[in-house]
Structure 1
Amino acid sequence: MEIITEGLHGIGRFFLHPLTYFFIMVAFFVGQARVKRERKYFHTRVFDFVLESKYLFFPGILIGIVLSIITFIAGVYIPIGIIALLSLITVLLSGPFTFRWLSPAYVIGFTMVIAFLLPEGLAAEGPLKTWLTDIQEAPLSSLVALLALLLLAEGYLIWKVGGKGTSPAILKSKRGFPIGAHFSQKLWGVPVLLLIPGDGLVKLFSWWPTLSLQGEAFSLFLVPFGIGFFQKVQGMLPSESIENTGKRVLALGIAVMLSVPAAFFFPITAVFIASIAILIREFISIQQKLKDENAPFFFSKREKGLVILGVIPKSPAEKMEMKVGEVIVKVNGVAVSNVNEFYHALQLNRAYCKLEVNDVNGEVRFVQRALYDGEHHELGVLFVQSHQDREPEAV
């Protein structure tokens, strides 16, 4: 009962942590910047500005529950000074318009390296002195276990959620031709209920309750970890590219998890493991970027048909189950190869449209739907357009 009561108190303290509100604010501004970019390219927004906020706490909360149970059973504990350092590094790595650096490999990895390198004897008073002591005496084995768990969470989230709600954009090739690309930018809040050793919290807040485990005092605190992800895709389907990245990060998490026992027996190896995790995570990002940039452009003008760059939510195109990456070959029986031809063919029958589409596997399917007032000129599909086409916009 003591553990349950303290756990409920710890969950309530989640709303006391400033990172919770920091993540909400960052997600809001990133969403605003995305909408501005979409309006620039297509004269309309593709997704609402709350898209980033939509993914902020789900499914991260469910994953956080699982991780909280695992860390509690495994006896993973993190001093309050380490939590303060983690929060500071999280803020520093949060760029103004990107979540690129908010991987657990960077946040926890840099925390461990700093804790290992921090010199002793630094002058400080009050809570700061206690926090510096916590950092210098950091439980490296617990930190590397937490790193492994959050890397597994990151890999799973990228694999299963990272490819959803990607934002289309029009870029320029080296030769100046328009090409399509997709940006995936996600920030997942993963709140983990952690054991805080000692009476550090009680010294700050006299009302803070504690529980006793094997004769030692602990408090429970729900820490809102932020797992960020950013990836640009122009050489293949966004879902496939991002899924590959997720699987590679998941493999990194498994590798770190397998090395956790070594850190418990030899804590110094934890810093080495964290450093390798930083390098491998960065290698994954760089290799994906180079591979994508050297691949043929996936979303580019084709001799036959129009490749779908984006589908606006709740539009007729979405109701017709049209997908990003599919190629529209014919509209109302007329072959099309540019946006103007598509638009004119659509006008041949203002009450009904029939599309011949090659799906992402190259198989032909037919899509048809009755059109209503206001829909004949705006199905909700986005294309990459040549210089001869009219200005980019939703069609």
Structure 2
Amino acid sequence: MVLKALLTYLVQPALWVAIATVIYLYFRRLKLERKQFRIAIEKDFYEGRTFLKTGLLLGGIGTLLTFILGLTLTTKMVYAYEAVTIVSLLLGGGAFSFYAILLTGGVALYLNPGQSGSIMASAFLVLAILYLLGRLFLASSKQVAHFFPLVKNGQRGRRVATYRWREMAVAPILVLIPGNEIQGIFAWWPVINLGQSSYSLFFLPLLVTAGMQILKQDSKEALIFYQKQTEVLLLLTVVVAIMALIWPVSAPYGLGFMGLVSIISWLLERRKDHQANNWYVETTEGVRVLAVRKDTPAAKMGLQAGDIILECNKVPVSNEKNLYAALQENSAYCRLRVKTYAGDLRAVGSAIYADSPHEIGLVLFQDEF
């Protein structure tokens, strides 16, 4: 019966829209990278791997929790959540998925006034907890290498890089739907009987997204702040959900409170980035590193986004052409003098590909012709 319920998960429209969105975001990223840097920084479809791995992990944890709590939703609320989630995917690539959960909880209050609506709103607060657990997992397991640059024109005629990261997953969360309404439409749909009541088994496709954009912060510091913000949101949502489960009448206030706190959290995130005092800007002091491709000589040297290469093989460099010309000075080994994003000076070196010194693994501002 559970296996049959899992198979019904595969017909959920929100799941397939999310899969299509992940594939679209992957090819869009490759297209932008090749347009701006002539190469794909990361060809690996890591977005799809994360989508699958995180979805299955969170689905297992979430199903255990919802089964213990006996989480129930009506078919109308399932339809409402999937509709709002699909709109979130189409309009913002899933960026508003947390608000989609809270909004659907509000819809539950509107369609089910009184005690039943408050109880159902409490269920969506539980789903919000699962969402934040998934977001925290995505952020905690994230490598800074997955912040990808986009170049735009800045002030004073110099180009500036911004860094973006976004990933998502869809977790199959088991919920119970009172009655056998679904079985009346699909005779094969699994139904269980608990005492005098019947429930349809339903795996809800819970969309989880994580991402951010930075202009002036160090990506590691920005990610740590994002994790802390998510932890605070998670703790507050747990407190609000417990209160709602004990006093269902507090559920609508809990939904509104978490929506407000989430907006404040986002504003604080943007404020922190705005107050940072460094930019990933094109410079005449040397050659700015925008990204480093993994498993390359540049990665072995520990170069990171934001570093400025001042010298290559003891030759001062000021642009991409200078740098690759200097690499020819030594066909087997590369020595660099680097100024880090924090302003520290250091010397690094590594063996390079003798027949292809241009494949050192650096992503730079492209020379303009």
TM-score (norm 2): 0.88
TM-superposed CA distance for 1:314, in Å, is 4.8
Change in 2 beyond 3 A, CA 1:16/1:174:
same
Secondary structure of 2:325's counterpart equals: helix
Deviation at 1:310, TM superposition (A): 0.7
Give matches, 1:63-212, under 5 Å.
63-95=58-90, 98-102=93-97, 104=98, 106-118=99-111, 139-161=120-142, 163=144, 165-212=146-193
User: SS where residue 43 of structure 2 aligns?
Assistant: coil
* Alpha-carbon separation, structure 1, partners of 2:326 and 2:92: 40
Inter-CA distance 211–54: structure 2 relative to 1 (3 Å threshold): same
* Partner of residue 264 from structure 1, selected from 220, 239, 245: 245
What is the aligned counterpart of 1:8 among 3, 7, 12? 3
CA distance in 2, matches of 1:46, 1:152: 29
Could you tell me how far 1:65 is from its partner in structure 2? 0.6
Equivalent residue number for residue 376 of structure 1: 357
Question: Deviation digits for residues 62-96 of structure 1, max 9, x if unmatched?
Answer: 12211111111122222222111100000111245
| 1:351–1:370 contact (8 Å) kept in structure 2 | yes
How far 1:352 sits from its partner (Å)? 2.5
> Aligned AA for 2:354?
Y
Any idea what SS the aligned residue of 2:146 has?
coil
AA in 1 matched with 2:105:
M
What CA distance in whole angstroms lies between the structure 2 residues aligned with 1:64 and 1:318? 35
Provide the identity percentage: 24
Contact 1:28 1:49 in 2 (8 A): no
Whether the aligned pair in 1 keeps the contact of 2:109 and 2:120 (CA below 8 Å) is no
Partners of 1:171 and 1:178 within 8 A in 2? yes
Supply the distance in 1 between the matched residues of 2:274 and 2:365 (Cα, whole angstroms).
17
| Match of residue 59 from structure 1 | 54
* Maintained 8 Å contact 2:324/2:357: no
TM-score in terms of structure 1 length: 0.83
State which of 279, 289, 294 in structure 2 corresponds to 1:308: 289
Query: Is there any run of 5+ residues in structure 2 with no aligned partner, and where?
Result: none
Q: Which residue of 2 aligns with 1:351?
A: 332
Q: Secondary structure at the match of 2:359?
A: coil
- What SS does the aligned partner of 1:227 have? strand
Structure 1 CA distance for aligned equivalents of residues 149 and 335 of structure 2: 25
Q: Aligned pairs, how many?
A: 366
1:282-301 CA distance string (max 9 Å, x none): 22223322332343343124
1:30 counterpart = 2:25: yes
Q: Deviations over 1:306-362 (max 9, x none)?
A: 342112345443455533344434321334343333222212112332234455674
Q: Which amino acid aligns with 1:236?
A: Q
CA contact (8 A) 2:291 2:363 kept: yes
Distance 1:184 1:92 in 2: 21
Pair 1:298 & 2:279 matched:
yes
Distance 1:162 1:143, change over 3 A: farther
Instruction: Measure the CA separation in 2 of the matches of 1:175 and 1:333.
Output: 30
Task: Indicate the structure with greater helix content.
Answer: 2
Does the Cα contact within 8 Å between 1:116 and 1:271 map onto a contact in 2?
A: yes
Give the AA of the match of 2:160: I
CA distance in 2, matches of 1:258, 1:34: 38
CA 1:331–1:35: 2 relative to 1, 3 Å: same
Are 2:37 and 2:364, in contact at CA under 8 Å, matched by a contact in 1?
Answer: no
Larger mean CA deviation between 53-62 and 284-293 belongs to 284-293
SS at match of 1:55: helix
The answer to whether the Cα contact below 8 Å between 2:145 and 2:291 also exists between their aligned partners in 1 is no
Alignment of 1:243-262 (within 5 A): 243-262=224-243
- 1:317 maps to 298
- Please say if residues 21 and 93 of structure 2, whose CA atoms lie closer than 8 Å, have aligned partners that are also in contact: no
